[in-house]
A and B are shown apart, each in its own frame.
Chain A
């Protein structure tokens, strides 16, 4: 029998104990009943031997003299005795199988066939006892002065013996049931107690929403070396995990700054480019201060250039502020964020003379409920990665579209695709091997925290594509 695995250990053990007790009870009961049976058979045999000896001695002379009345009287009186083991009836059968006399002459008249009586009876030296029977017929040869005179068949009343056996069986059943019940309950209580430290450990590991914490030193059972070792090992594990998480967090942080650094380079370039034109415009105004048309045109040119610089700096500030964790969850995603992204990534694209395909196919309602900071970080990391793996002059793109209850961000590039060593960073929770950046693992963590999914596939043009689906009203883990 297999116990269901779902059953708790504290229940399984008492059940096993109860099962073993039942088994032991059956075996023990069988042994007791068997011993009782042997004792009863021995007792029956002794009593029967006494009875046969007494009756044979009494009957002998009368059998020899064929004194029917005295034979009958002796058998009749024997059956009238009181007692737990008494003859109910008795019959004497001669060598030819005819009834000489019976205490029940109506059933076995003198001279009738008594062979059946003898055949149905068991021999005195081979008494067996069937618990179900209330009487047993026993036979033995009556010998007088060395001469066999006939077969004496006595029907004994064994109701008392059967009742005694029933009482023993009942007592055994009752005793076993009580023992099983008590031991099961005790086993359950004991197992509950023994397993209490394990349950505490389990509770610690299952803390909802929070990260497992080391168990306080005071709670570690000092008397139980094995459990103490288990607790210490658990604490060691928790501390190792916490250390690894902290390291990963620090690496992710560094990665963010690295990417920001790369962006900063692009931004400097972005700012620097219009600066030359703007300075030239300032010179033009100085040169032609009296030409209103030139001044007006130059002023407009200056305004456009400065606005551009303002946009660039604001976007960078927004990005930086969100990444600093200033309640980014409170800032909801808007289409404007994708414009900002475009602004941020463009210098990097232009630096590498790459071609960016930018398709925003969603409207504002498609972004409802998504945190702006996280989504921008996801898209930016993927785009930077795409730009990095795509050679100079190569193509890459972003496509944002609604997908049922989700928002789908697809970033594709003409690069060679992810290597097997890089894929786990994006697709699994396996520890990050040292030596690589953490940008993709940050994407993985952010998508997971938003309840989204990441797939690798092919774009409509056959390029490698990363598809991120973010549920608009899903739960944020």
Chain B
């Protein structure tokens, strides 16, 4: 069985950026470990994944890893901005909210590309075929700062000329892509916005959960959630060590195991236009007036 932990890359992302530790804030003393931010979007048993990730980074760089877990992207971003953590695996949306303070340093490859997309899902026994048919639903979002779990759906509604706050009868946040799938599968929500990568990964780990849902709509492709560091960490040795650990992840057994669990292929440096599509959605929402 593969990658039970997988799921929300938010948490995973948070893991890497350890780097910064050294420098900044406290200055004088060099830290012995990378502090990596996580959100609880991981699956329950993701500790195995984290252990392997720690093992890989330690093997590659000689640095230990200290995980810091928070519930929302906002909290993790706050820790990054405060320098309380060195790096985190975040979504492109919060990254773009702080273009001067946060920087993407690596993007995972999923199915060979640094891209993913958002799904709108509903109950498997429901006979709706398009977005418009979801009007009046109780709808589950993932996180207010999630691109695939919130921004994409809101932007799409605006494109359709709908008012997002009125289209659904009721919305709520589950703070986890897997929770969105659970909410729909259990019929707590009639539809949900979910990360396509997480949704597809669940097919291998929790097929019975997925079987009670189906995809109604798929978004365009966006830049895959990147590993992010604070601007203070740019150019530091810690960043260099972290990047080496990420780009060489296939070099260790633990690293390959991490990729297998995450169902990813590796990490690549981001391109300047990697998150342009997300930026477009952000503009659409902010220009709504």
Interface of A with B (CB < 8 Å)? 66-69, 72-73, 76, 101, 105-106, 109-111
Contact = CB atoms under 8 A, between A and B. Distances in A.
Contact of B172 (A67, A76, A106, A109): A67
B169 A105 contact: no
A111 B175 contact: no
B138 interface: yes
B187 A109 contact: yes
30 contacts: A66-B172, A67-B172, A67-B173, A68-B172, A68-B188, A69-B140, A69-B172, A69-B173, A69-B174, A69-B175, A69-B179, A69-B183, A69-B188, A72-B186, A72-B188, A73-B179, A76-B186, A101-B188, A105-B186, A105-B187, A105-B188, A106-B186, A106-B187, A109-B138, A109-B187, A110-B138, A110-B170, A110-B188, A111-B138, A111-B169
Nearest to A67: B172
Contacts of A110: 138, 170, 188
Interface string B141-169: 00000000000000000000000000001
Contacts of A105: 186-188
Contacts of B173: 67, 69
A200 to B, nearest CB: 85
B41 to A, nearest CB: 12
Given A72-B188, A76-B186, A109-B187, 11 more contacts: A66-B172, A68-B172, A68-B188, A69-B140, A69-B172, A69-B173, A72-B183, A101-B188, A106-B186, A106-B187, A111-B138
Q: For A67, A72, A76, which residue has the most chain B Cβ atoms within 10 angstroms? A: A72
A76 B174 CA distance: 14
Sorting the interface of chain B by its residue count into under 10, 10 to 19, 20 to 34 or 35 or more gives 10 to 19
Contacts of B187: 105-106, 109
In order of increasing CB-CB distance, the 9 nearest A-B pairs are: A68-B172, A69-B174, A105-B188, A106-B187, A105-B187, A110-B138, A72-B188, A69-B172, A105-B186
A109 B187 CA distance: 8
Interface in B168-203: 169-170, 172-175, 179, 183, 186-188
Interface string B127-146: 00000000000101000000
Contacts of A106: 186-187
Contacts of A73: 179
B170 to A, nearest CB: 6
Contacts of B138: 109-111
A95 B259 CA distance: 50
A73 B71 CA distance: 14
B236 to A, nearest CB: 38
A105 B183 CA distance: 9
A104 B175 CA distance: 21
A66 B138 CA distance: 14
A68 B183 CA distance: 10
Contacts of B179: 69, 73
A307 to B, nearest CB: 139
Q: For B170, B172, B173, B186, which residue has the most chain A Cβ atoms within 10 angstroms? A: B172
Contacts of A66: 172
A69 B179 CA distance: 8
A111 B187 CA distance: 13
Nearest to A72: B188
Interface in B229-269: none
Interface in B36-56: none
Contacts of B183: 69, 72
A214 to B, nearest CB: 97
B174 to A, nearest CB: 4
A72 B140 CA distance: 12
B215 to A, nearest CB: 21
A67 B183 CA distance: 13
A76 to B, nearest CB: 7
Interface in B261-287: none
Contacts of B186: 72, 76, 105-106
B196 to A, nearest CB: 20
B276 to A, nearest CB: 32
A69 B186 CA distance: 12
Contacts of B169: 111
A106 B183 CA distance: 11
Nearest to B71: A70
Nearest to A69: B174
Contacts of A111: 138, 169-170
A73 B179 CA distance: 9
B97 to A, nearest CB: 23
Nearest to B142: A69
A101 B187 CA distance: 11
B274 to A, nearest CB: 30
Contacts of B170: 110-111
B285 to A, nearest CB: 23
Nearest to A76: B186
Nearest to B123: A106
B177 to A, nearest CB: 12
Nearest to A66: B172
A109 B184 CA distance: 12
Q: For B169, B179, B187, B188, which residue has the most chain A Cβ atoms within 10 angstroms? A: B188
Nearest to A73: B179
B146 to A, nearest CB: 14
